[in-house]
A = this chain, B = another copy of it.
Amino acid sequence: MSQNTVYIPADTLENFMYDVFTRLGVPEEDAKISAQILIASDLRGIESHGIGRLKLYYDRIKEGIQLPITNFEIVRESPTTAVVDGHDGMGQVIGYKAMKLAIQKAKEFGMGSVAVRNSAHYGIAGYYPLMAVKEGMIGFSVTNARPSIAPTFGTKPMLGTNPIAFGAPTDEECPFLFDAATSITQRGKLEVLARLEKPTPVGWVEDPLGNPLTDTNEILAGFAKDTAALLPLGGQGESMAGYKGYGLATIVEILSASLQTGSFLWGLSGIGPNGEKVPNRLGHFFMAINIEAFVPLNEFKKTTGEILRQLRASRKQPGYERIFTAGEKEYENEIRIRKEGVPVVANLQKDIKIMMNGLGLTGYQFNF
């Protein structure tokens, strides 16, 4: 972190985000959900999807392309499934309610899944599986997003960073939680690099001729202009199996769009036919699997915990002292960040000031 980074207690930032949302017209209960999901990201050390994204929601709500009041409409339902229309409301609120619905169905019938259309950016995908984990279930969520990944042998950003999130309870305090874009890196991480004024590593992003791009600001501006594309997990071409990352991104696109006849690929760009800003109309998919329908929960937890412990205890590569399992680093971040506070870098401080001034939030005395 640069010298002028300040650390703000998570509770203070969560309150601040709640206040920003309510001032923007988000109902209290919904503002609470939204702030809670955003701060969960900061606490887990995922700086890209928490307070760092608040300005984006602020701008969109101000511009009228994301609605502060969320009309969560269940348009179709079966014992285990539902289709929801989010009507361009708050992505976090839509995600939270959709996952609740999937969990409720899994409680009753063993499995539950919900497909969502016309939603907005919903924060970290990993938040939703954790809701299922708390209920003793396996949780799963995916979402599509603005075009940024190029297909294998292609150079145009077509697929979103399309993350896959999967969580499972264990017999340890830290649950198993995988939450990752199907590209090598993702937009949020590039936004963090941009705020820190750092270049992007070679091999993560390509230009229209397939050459590597490393200027982070140029890259971020390039997705919408079609001059930069993220490479899928596995990289460019087939030699390191980049078609697998591309295929996984396509699975996420199908699950997120096809089960609700929604928008997809460039239909999610957020830019209308005349270059005007329009809602992103994202699609999500949520699933809960009730473990008790298969085996006693404590047996599942023990098996899963044992798998993770054996992985961690296995032989290390020389120079490396520790093997991690998914979710461990973030779990430890949370303990640390609750104590230390959330790092707020200079460019983010500017954003916060703009929102404070814009909304007349005079009650906050930040140290910048």
Residues of B near A335 (CB, < 8 A) are: none
- The SS class assigned to the A binding surface is mixed
Q: How far is B317's CA from A210's CA once the two chains are assembled, in angstroms?
A: 6
B180 touches A247 (CB 8 A): yes
Please tell me which one of the listed residues B155, B210, B260 contacts residue A295 in the complex, with CB atoms under 8 A apart: B260
Asked if A56 is at the interface (CB within 8 A of a chain B CB), the reply is no
Residues of B near A210 (CB, < 8 A) are: 317-318
Considering only CB atoms, which chain B residue lies closest to A231 in the complex? B240
Q: How far is B250's CA from A313's CA once the two chains are assembled, in angstroms?
A: 15
B180 touches A244 (CB 8 A): yes
Known: A240-B203, A248-B178, A250-B307. A113 touches B289 (CB 8 A): yes
Known: A233-B233, A264-B306; 7 extra A-B contacts, CB below 8 A, are: A81-B290, A153-B323, A154-B323, A180-B244, A180-B247, A243-B326, A259-B294
A110 touches B80 (CB 8 A): yes
Residues of B near A312 (CB, < 8 A) are: 151
Asked if A362 is at the interface (CB within 8 A of a chain B CB), the reply is no
For the complex of A and B, list the 7 residue pairs with the smallest distance between their C-beta atoms, beginning with the closest: A80-B110, A153-B320, A210-B317, A156-B315, A258-B303, A247-B326, A259-B294
Contact residues, A236-288 vs B (CB, 8 A): 236, 239-241, 243-245, 247-248, 250-251, 253-255, 257-262, 264-266
A304 touches B245 (CB 8 A): no
Considering only CB atoms, which chain B residue lies closest to A239 in the complex? B201
Q: How far is B151's CA from A184's CA once the two chains are assembled, in angstroms?
A: 17
Contact residues, A159-213 vs B (CB, 8 A): 159, 164, 166, 168, 176, 178, 180, 184-185, 201, 203, 206, 208-210
Known: A209-B317, A324-B153. A184 touches B304 (CB 8 A): no
Please tell me which one of the listed residues B78, B158, B235 contacts residue A110 in the complex, with CB atoms under 8 A apart: B78
A115 touches B294 (CB 8 A): yes
Please tell me which one of the listed residues B111, B203, B243, B261 contacts residue A303 in the complex, with CB atoms under 8 A apart: B261
Residues of B near A110 (CB, < 8 A) are: 78-81, 113
Known: A78-B110, A264-B303. A314 touches B257 (CB 8 A): no
Question: Smallest distance from the beta carbon of A63 to chain B beta carbons, Å?
Answer: 27
B254 touches A293 (CB 8 A): no
Asked if A91 is at the interface (CB within 8 A of a chain B CB), the reply is no
Residues of B near A258 (CB, < 8 A) are: 168, 295, 300, 303-304, 307
B83 touches A109 (CB 8 A): no
A250 touches B155 (CB 8 A): no
Asked if A15 is at the interface (CB within 8 A of a chain B CB), the reply is no
Q: How far is B210's CA from A316's CA once the two chains are assembled, in angstroms?
A: 9
Considering only CB atoms, which chain B residue lies closest to A248 in the complex? B178
Q: How far is B323's CA from A89's CA once the two chains are assembled, in angstroms?
A: 35
Asked if A119 is at the interface (CB within 8 A of a chain B CB), the reply is no
